[in-house]
Amino acid sequence: MRIKLITSRDNALFKELRQLAGSAQACRHAGRTLLDGVHLCEAYVRQVGMPRLCVVGETASKHHEVHAIQMLCETGGAACIQLPDILFNAISQVEQGIQLMFVIDVPGAKSENSATQMLPLQQPAVLLDNVQDPGNLGSILRSAAAAGVRAMFCSAGCASAWAPKVMRAGMGAHFSLTIAEDVDLASLMTNSMIPTVATSSHADNTVYALDLRSPVAWLFGHEGQGVKPELLQLATHQILIPQVDAVESLNVAASAAVCLFEQVRQKTL
């Protein structure tokens, strides 16, 4: 199978790629997203399989890693195209990166079905209430996957979990997680069979005082307002992360990492 060359900005496929690269809403509407860079593409092939489309930049077509992945995609039946550097760079948001990109289908229906099958909550999970920054969301996904959590539930106010910016921040974590979006967190918490633990700057107990050796569902909130009061009231435990007074509070992604790996620490004692 010969790789298809696209050289015009007016090409319909290039226009579609540019839309996917620039708009999380376009990704959600199309049910597709972009993986940008060798690391993400390698992780996808290793953990999931072949992409819908493999996109290679002209310069990178001679790179040994890119060439190997391209050949693997062609052998596996995936469509492949090559773009001139100027066109590839117009859709890539990775500076100084290697010019490789996948178009993949967003497993939206799969996530919804899998989420339904996991209810009520019985296994470790992370619940996100209105986390809007793509970098924070992707970082939390990455920490959750590294800490052994496999289920992520995002409320309607969260950033799109499969947007390209979130994919880059997640660094492949998406492929080992079941991610459900637009979830009614209140209903999820009410019917949970495991404790739910919410972070709050007004809590009396610290994360280090809580016994975390058994499964819990972690609840983290909006970057500015934190977890909604009505969700805090539903939580089994409210905890804070102690810190000095130099800053007002930790970034939500940092808070999630502290909590998740405190649980990992306790489990390995």
Over residues 169-190, mean pLDDT: 93
Q: What is the pLDDT of residues 46-55, one digit of tens each?
A: 999 999 999 9
Buried b (16+ CB within 10 A) or exposed e, 101-114: bbbbebbbeebeee
| pTM exceeds cut of 0.85 | yes
Average pLDDT for the chain: 91
CA distance 261 to 100: 33
The answer to whether the CB of 80 falls within 8 A of the CB of 74 is: yes
Q: What is the pLDDT of residues 194-238, one digit of tens each?
A: 999 999 988 999 999 999 999 999 999 998 899 999 999 999 999
Point out the least confidently predicted range of 48-57, 65-74, 106-115, 256-265.
Answer: 106-115
Which amino acid, residue 10?
A: D
Sheet-wide strand order for 196-199? 178-180, 151-154, 125-128, 217-220, 196-199, 237-240, 205-206
HSE (CB half, 13 Å, CA atoms) of 228? 13
